[in-house]
Amino acid sequence: MADLDVYKKQKFGQKIGFGQHPALLIIDFQVGFADADVLGGFNMLSAIEQTSKLLKTARSSKVPVAHVRFATEMQGDDIGTFAVKVPSLRKLSPDSKDAQFVESVRPKKGEWVSTKRHGSAFFGTNLASWLNSIGADTLLITGCTTSGCVRASTIDASAYGLRPMVVTDCVGDRAEGPHRANLFDMEQKYADLVTSKQVVAYFKTLKNK
């Protein structure tokens, strides 16, 4: 499209490239986000399926894994105006069915796990400190939603000096338009877009070093 030529003219969208020490981040793949009648939709189920496959490979490759989910302790009173914009989030108490991790991507012992109360996986958690402690320089980002929590986490990962890699077949949204628009924008400004196949190939190069 002609109106997008300005990005190329202004030299947006340069490649970052993989680093040497990756970590895999899985954002909000919870029961409610797998249900189109609750908080799901569009490609959420396929993104969960692809992420479960990538998770198995990451574990076998000894790549550190981080899981984060959204929950509210006070029927939404602890998430401020987020609860006004999205009232259904009030139902995601820590013990509710919809707040639980989807079984296929459930955390295992030894993996970083946290609960957040807003978009970014970094906000209100010790994710940045954990990534720093393990020497991570590359963050492989999966989860949902592409236009919301994935985007917010990608921007923060960039702000913390990491190499954000958004795994395109492992991120989902409830509608196609926001999904595609935000993938485009993240690639132009904050991250590289990669496929799970490319990530698996990257894992193999790590084994050879």
CA atoms within 13 A on the CB side of 199: 33
- Which residues are the active-site residues? 149
Number of C-beta neighbours around residue 155 at 10 A = 18
Backbone φ/ψ region at 187: left (φ over 0), alpha (ψ -120 to 50), beta: alpha
Q: Is the peptide bond before 145 cis (omega within 30 degrees of 0)?
A: yes
Instruction: Report CA-CA distances (Å) from 128 to 36, 64, 69, 138.
Output: 31, 14, 16, 12
CA distance 141 to 183: 12
**Residue 171 amino acid letter:** V
Element housing 193 (H / E): strand 192-194
Secondary structure (DSSP) of 6-48: HHHHTT--------SSEEEEEE--BGGGG-TTTT--TTHHHHH
- Cβ-based neighbours of 127, under 8 Å, separated by 6 or more: 25, 66, 68, 112, 114, 121
